[in-house]
Amino acid sequence: MPIRIRTLVASDAAAYKALRDESLRTAPEAFTSDWASSVGREASEYAGRFGEPSTGKFFLGAFDGTDQLLGCIGCEREARLQQRHCAHVVSMMVAPAAQRQGIGQQLVAACIDTARQVPGLTQLLLTVTASNTHVVRLYEQAGFRAWGLLPRAIVVDGVGYDKLHMLRLLT
């Protein structure tokens, strides 16, 4: 199926919230946010995350031919002057029914390409649940390298999950 990737805007907030709620519910170990705390939030609360790519704070969405949001990825540049060369890749998710079709790979590649256009941005950072080996491999194939591990970074239903810290240079 052909996928179109574009920057998310305020009018995408409801679709983003629906995707996020579904992702938090079906894969709680993959996120630091939890479904119970998020499900009651208004969709409009998320619109502030959708900035202009040139700022280094943006979200990209993957849409199918019917304009349904199938996946997204965020990039949030550091605000402090001495860290403005860094941005964090956040909220990477693909709807369960659309997984394992290359959408995540396309989103990561588009995020890297977009981040490369941001003046002064030289590296991307992210965390990923270490036991999610499929996603770890996806990031490695996109050029991210592990630099540390935080044991029991999150605890879901009494089970601890390690988070792998990864870095990708843009230069």
Alpha carbon dihedral 53, 47, 155, 149, in 10-degree steps, equals: 10
E strand or H helix at 138: helix 133-141
> What is the rounded CA–CA span in Å between residue 3 and residue 111?
15
> What is the rounded CA–CA span in Å between residue 26 and residue 143?
27
Model confidence band, residue 1 (pLDDT cutoffs 50, 70, 90): low
Q: Do the Cβ atoms of 78 and 84 come closer than 8 Å?
A: yes
In DSSP terms, 94 is beta-bridged to 71
Tens of pLDDT along 69-123?
999 999 999 999 999 999 999 999 999 999 999 999 999 999 999 999 999 999 9
Q: Which two tokens stand for residue 138?
A: 């996806």
Amino acid identity of residue 42, one-letter, is E
The structure tokens 């996109």 sit at 142
Tens of pLDDT along 2-61?
899 999 999 999 999 999 999 998 998 888 887 877 878 888 889 989 999 999 999 999
Sheet of 86-94: strands edge to edge? 4-7, 57-63, 69-77, 86-94, 123-129, 159-169, 145-156
Q: Which two tokens stand for residue 88?
A: 């964090």
Phi-psi category of residue 150: left, alpha or beta, with phi > 0 → left and psi -120 to 50 → alpha: beta
